[in-house]
């Protein structure tokens, strides 16, 4: 019985470690290739680099405007999330405190309906509309992200707010607080855990998204996000794959660093969001 | 009973809904209606000329070889992804939940692919298929690795699928692991005392508690399978030929590159219908929640 048990355990470790190796394999290749010269890679693809060769990174950063795209991605993600956290909870607050009224019920149903419509199904007319209104820019992209995070966000925030008792707000009203004051002082602070969850889910989506930047920013090369830049970089530098891997690594790096420091927070955010959605 | 609000307060509440509703109306509802109209025209997407042709595009959908091909591809892709990813997620989740060391380390490592952008995952593997695997193939003398699997009609499906599996197994695995924490330890202990085998415990205790998570994972993977876009755009662009042309890729190509805007719009609504059906099944399945609730 004992030996059978430890055999099982060894098998489990073997399978799990094999899985980890498969997961880390592309990362390993990316790392070592980005640190090699083309000659070194030609000699052996899998060996560790002989010397620390950093020219690939230097090329990506200087010649390819890496920081411009990095900054664009930061702006798009931060501004979209900030706008979302300002307007979506307000909407959810109004809906959850007036759920007996027709107007709020209708607009809420309309919003829920939107959750079932994937972006791919409306991308054609949406992009035509953005192009006609001169919104094929970072501004247009941010407006799109706020609109699309609103659908699911409204659902999650309304659900959360319905479980928050109103007594506090009522007594604040007795003390002479207006709706706006009690929202800012009482309700908004209570929303913090929900906001943290939404920042993880939507932040991860916006930062990593490729389809929307491809459609909205493609013609505007100074406004590209990091992910779109990666895609375009493939066509420009297909002959020099060491350079390509260096750019892959640079675009993964911000997320990897964030993940190393906040993995528990990120994993629990995704878990909670998925369970509720 | 909450108090009734004054006129001024009601105005404030309505005001709170305006910013999001404006965005939602202009950038979602309006394009949606516009899309319905476009799908009934023969517009190419650029010219002034567009004629209203009713349901013609919808009627032509199923006689278009590429549309049928993309539907078959996306369904085959989604089914394969669902089966493999969910099997892996359950197996890995159970293994990580057993009494092993470094449980948290394993969890962090297995979740890692989820934080990397799909398009970058695709681009990295594109290079790996091009430069790395052929060297593997030469070295170990494995025929199928010797040429770029993405350029071969017989292997490209599985190559692309592998990349999706690499990326999409992360979240379901972590969700299964979270679901397993909801199984009461006492139940398991009692079953062990009664001499129930591992398989019996799995079937009678563990799986019933996992039903909500499992149905969630199912929907998650079905949707990402049917709507696969980024990895294909990054690796094959739909080729070779039309072997990896998913519905999303075909909408993109017909709409923005091949001047069949009206036709592509009707395909969009077919995709919408498919996703809607899946979503309703999800709601129905989740309503029948069994014992386990996260």
ipTM: 0.88
- Determine the Cα–Cα distance for residues A265 and A263; give it in Å rounded to an integer: 5
Q: Flag if B171 and A270 touch (Cβ within 8 Å).
A: yes
For A177, phi then psi, to 5°, come to -75, 140
B142: Cβ–Cβ under 8 A, 6 or more apart, which residues?
Answer: B136
A170: Cβ–Cβ under 8 A, 6 or more apart, which residues?
Answer: B2, B3
Q: Which of A91, A151, A230 sits opposite B17 (nearest CB)?
A: A91
Quick one: pLDDT at residue B153? 83
Give ∠ CA B36-B28-B54 in degrees, rounded to 5.
5
Show residues of chain A in contact with B108, CB under 8 Å: 263, 267
CATH top class, domain A70-217+267-276: mainly alpha
B170-182 pLDDT tens trace = 999 999 999 898 8
Show residues of chain A in contact with B6, CB under 8 Å: none
Q: Quick check: B287 pLDDT over 60?
A: yes
- Determine the Cα–Cα distance for residues A42 and A33; give it in Å rounded to an integer: 10
Cβ B83 vs Cβ B225: under 8 Å: no
Cβ A198 vs Cβ A85: under 8 Å: yes
| Mutant choice from A22, A45, A210 vs B, greatest count of B C-beta within 10 A | A210
Show residues of chain B in contact with A248, CB under 8 Å: 120, 123-124, 127
| Mutant choice from A36, A70, A77, A121 vs B, greatest count of B C-beta within 10 A | A121
Residues of chain A under the 70 pLDDT cut:
1-4, 237-239, 275-277
Show residues of chain B in contact with A263, CB under 8 Å: 108, 111
Tell me the average pLDDT across B145-166: 87
Q: Flag if B119 and A210 touch (Cβ within 8 Å).
A: yes
Q: Flag if B13 and A98 touch (Cβ within 8 Å).
A: yes
Exposure string for A101-120, b = 16+ CB within 10 A, e = fewer: eeebeebbeebeebebbbbb
Quick one: pLDDT at residue B231? 92
Quick one: pLDDT at residue A37? 79
Q: Which two tokens stand for residue A59?
A: 């090329």
Total domains, chain B: 1
Radius of gyration in angstroms for the set of CA atoms belonging to chain B, rounded to a whole number: 24
A14: Cβ–Cβ under 8 A, 6 or more apart, which residues?
Answer: none
User: What is the nearest CA distance from A211 to chain B, expressed in angstroms?
Assistant: 7
Confidence of residue B292 (pLDDT cuts 50, 70, 90): very low
Could you tell me if residue B110 is inside a domain?
Answer: yes
- Determine the Cα–Cα distance for residues A199 and A270; give it in Å rounded to an integer: 10
B234-274 pLDDT tens trace = 899 887 888 999 999 999 999 888 888 888 999 999 999 99
A87-130 pLDDT tens trace = 999 999 999 988 888 999 999 999 988 888 888 889 999 999 99
DSSP A273: H
Averaged confidence pLDDT in chain B: 87
- Determine the Cα–Cα distance for residues A180 and B210; give it in Å rounded to an integer: 42
- Determine the Cα–Cα distance for residues A151 and A110; give it in Å rounded to an integer: 9
Quick one: pLDDT at residue A8? 84
Within a 13 Å sphere around the CA of A99, how many CA atoms are in the beta-carbon half?
12
Q: Which of A211, A266, A275 sits opposite B115 (nearest CB)?
A: A266
Q: Does B184 touch chain A (CB under 8 A)?
A: no
Could you tell me if residue B7 is inside a domain?
Answer: no
Q: Quick check: B109 pLDDT over 60?
A: yes
Q: Which of A19, A116, A263 sits opposite B275 (nearest CB)?
A: A116
Q: Flag if A124 and B251 touch (Cβ within 8 Å).
A: yes
B94-104 pLDDT tens trace = 999 888 888 88
Q: Which of residues 46-85 of B touch A (CB under 8 A)?
A: none
**At B271, which CATH number?**
1.10.3720.10
Query: Residue for token digits 């079905």?
Result: B222
Q: Flag if B116 and A255 touch (Cβ within 8 Å).
A: yes
Quick one: pLDDT at residue A276? 59
- Determine the Cα–Cα distance for residues A116 and B154; give it in Å rounded to an integer: 34
B95: Cβ–Cβ under 8 A, 6 or more apart, which residues?
Answer: A12, A15, A16
Q: Flag if A274 and B220 touch (Cβ within 8 Å).
A: yes
CA A7 to chain centre: 41
Q: Quick check: B291 pLDDT over 50?
A: no
| Nearest partner of A273 among A144, A97, A121, A149, judged by Cα | A149
Show residues of chain A in contact with B138, CB under 8 Å: none
Q: Which of A15, A150, A244 sits opposite B95 (nearest CB)?
A: A15
Confidence of residue B45 (pLDDT cuts 50, 70, 90): confident
Q: Does B6 touch chain A (CB under 8 A)?
A: no
**Contacts A–B by Cβ distance under 8 A:** 248
What is the domain range of residue B218? 64-287
Give ∠ CA B236-B219-A195 in degrees, rounded to 5.
100
Within a 13 Å sphere around the CA of A31, how many CA atoms are in the beta-carbon half?
9
Could you tell me if residue B198 is inside a domain?
Answer: yes
């Amino acid at each position: 019985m004992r030996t059978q048990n430890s055999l099982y355990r060894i098998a489990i470790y073997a399978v799990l470690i094999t899985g980890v190796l498969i997961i880390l394999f592309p990362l390993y290749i990316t790392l070592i290739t980005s640190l090699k010269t083309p000659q070194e890679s030609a000699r052996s693809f899998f060996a560790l680099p002989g010397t620390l060769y950093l020219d690939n990174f230097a090329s990506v950063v200087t010649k390819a405007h890496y920081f411009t795209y990095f900054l664009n991605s930061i702006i798009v993600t931060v501004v979209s999330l900030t706008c979302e956290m300002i307007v979506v909870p307000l909407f959810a607050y109004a809906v959850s405190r007036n759920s007996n009224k027709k107007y709020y019920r209708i607009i809420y149903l309309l919003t829920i309906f939107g959750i079932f419509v994937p972006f791919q199904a409306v991308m054609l007319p949406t992009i035509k509309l953005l192009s006609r209104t001169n919104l094929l820019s970072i501004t247009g992209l941010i407006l799109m992200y706020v609109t699309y995070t609103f659908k699911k966000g409204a659902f999650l925030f309304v659900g959360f707010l319905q479980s928050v008792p109103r007594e506090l707000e009522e007594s604040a009203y007795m003390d002479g607080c207006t709706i706006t004051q009690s929202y800012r002082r009482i309700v908004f602070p209570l929303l913090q855990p929900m906001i943290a969850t939404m920042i993880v889910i939507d932040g991860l989506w916006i930062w990593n998204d490729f389809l929307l930047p491809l459609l909205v920013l493609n013609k505007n090369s100074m406004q590209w996000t990091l992910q779109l830049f990666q895609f375009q970089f493939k066509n420009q530098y297909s002959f020099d794959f060491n350079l390509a891997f260096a750019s892959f690594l640079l675009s993964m790096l911000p997320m990897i660093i964030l993940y190393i420091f906040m993995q528990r927070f990120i994993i629990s955010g995704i878990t909670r969001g998925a369970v509720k959605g | 009973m909450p108090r009734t609000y004054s006129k001024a307060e009601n105005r404030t509440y309505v005001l709170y809904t305006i910013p999001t509703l404006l965005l939602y109306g202009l950038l979602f509802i309006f394009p949606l209606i516009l899309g319905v109209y476009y799908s009934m025209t023969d517009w190419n997407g650029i010219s002034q000329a567009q004629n209203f042709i009713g349901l013609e595009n919808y009627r032509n959908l199923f006689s278009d070889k590429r549309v049928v091909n993309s539907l078959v591809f996306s369904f085959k892709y989604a089914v394969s992804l669902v089966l493999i990813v969910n099997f892996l997620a359950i197996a890995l989740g159970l293994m990580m939940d057993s009494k092993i060391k470094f449980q948290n380390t394993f969890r962090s490592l297995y979740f890692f692919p989820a934080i990397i952008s799909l398009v970058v995952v695709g681009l990295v593997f594109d290079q790996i298929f091009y430069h790395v695997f052929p060297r593997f193939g030469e070295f170990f003398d494995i025929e199928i690795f010797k040429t770029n699997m993405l350029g071969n009609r017989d292997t490209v499906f599985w190559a692309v699928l592998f990349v999706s599996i690499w990326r999409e197994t992360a979240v379901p695995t972590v969700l299964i692991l979270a679901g397993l924490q909801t199984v009461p330890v006492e139940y398991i202990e009692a079953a062990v005392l009664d001499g129930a085998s591992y398989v019996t415990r799995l079937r009678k205790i563990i799986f019933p508690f996992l039903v909500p998570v499992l149905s969630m994972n199912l929907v998650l993977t079905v949707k990402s399978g049917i709507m696969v876009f980024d990895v294909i755009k990054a690796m094959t662009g739909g080729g070779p030929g039309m072997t990896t042309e998913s519905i999303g890729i075909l909408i993109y190509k017909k709409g923005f590159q091949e001047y069949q805007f009206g036709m592509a719009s009707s395909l969009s609504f077919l995709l919408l219908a498919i996703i809607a059906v899946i979503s309703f099944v999800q709601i129905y399945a989740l309503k029948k929640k069994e014992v386990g609730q996260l």
